[in-house]
Amino acid sequence: MKKEEHIQRAWEHAVTKFGKEGYAAKKDYIENEYREKALKELQDLIEDEEKFFKVADEMYKKYIG
């Protein structure tokens, strides 16, 4: 699988899981400021698909080569 396909798959999974309508975002967890802040930052990144792909590409290069 090509790098771009991996990143596309990761983005799709992130949307499904952590997007504003994602199953993990809707779960009832013990609420705390850290979780809310981290979830909001992740949702903002997911919404900006271009930025998500840029960040994912940087991570891919750093950790996978």
Question: pLDDT for 22-63, tens place per residue?
Answer: 998 888 777 788 888 999 999 999 999 999 999 999 999 999
Measured distance CA(31)–CA(18) in Å, rounded: 15
- Residue 64 DSSP symbol: T
List the domain range (segments joined by +) for residue 32: 3-63
Say how many domains are in the chain: 1
What single letter denotes the amino acid at residue 23? Y
pLDDT for the residue 31:
77
Measured distance CA(54)–CA(34) in Å, rounded: 25
pLDDT for the residue 49:
95
Q: Which residue has the higher pLDDT, 65 or 62?
A: 62
| Cα distance from N-terminal residue to C-terminal residue, the chain | 14
Query: 45, 7, 58: which is closest to 37 by C-alpha?
Result: 45
- Report, as an integer, the average pLDDT of 4-12: 96
pLDDT for the residue 46:
96
The tokens describing 38, both together, are: 């981290």
